[in-house]
Amino acid sequence: MPEGPELHKAALLVNTMCKGRVFTGKIKKSAANYKNPEVEHNYKEYTIRAESRGKEMAVILSGYPLANDKKRAKKNGDLRILFRFGMSGRFQFGPVDEMHKHAHLNFYTKTEKKDKGLVLSFVDVRRFGGWQVKDTWSEDRGPDPMFEYQAFRENVLNNLDSSVFNKPLCEVLHNQRYFNGIGNYLRAEIIFRSGIPPFTCARDVLESLQVYPEEKKPCTPDLLELCHLVPREVVNLPGVGYEPSGSYSGYSRFQEWLQCYYNTDLNNLVDHDGRTMWFKGKPGPLAPKG
110 is catalytic: no
The one catalytic residue in 2, 143, 197, 198 is 2
Residues in the chain: 290
Is 134 a known active-site residue? no
Q: What Å distances lie between residue 54 and 33, 129, 183, 219, 227, CA to CA? A: 24, 15, 10, 26, 12
Q: Is 118 helix (H, G, I), strand (E, B) or coil?
A: strand
Cβ-contact 19, 94 below 8 angstroms: no
Q: Which of 9, 55, 56, 168 is catalytic?
A: 55
- Which runs of E-coded beta strand occur in the chain? 23-24, 28-29, 45-53, 56-63, 78-84, 89-95, 103-108, 118-124, 130-133, 267-270, 276-279
The closest alpha carbon to 227, from 30, 3, 1, 2, belongs to 3
For residue 198, the tally of other CB atoms under 10 A from its CB is 30
* 24 φ/ψ angles, rounded to the nearest 5 degrees: -155, 165
What is the C-alpha to C-alpha distance for residues 138 and 197, in angstroms, rounded to an integer?
A: 31
Q: Is the separation of the CB atoms in 27 and 107 below 8 Å?
A: yes
- Distance CA(4)–CA(182), nearest Å, equals 6
Is 56 known to be catalytic? no
The residues assigned a catalytic role are 2-3, 55
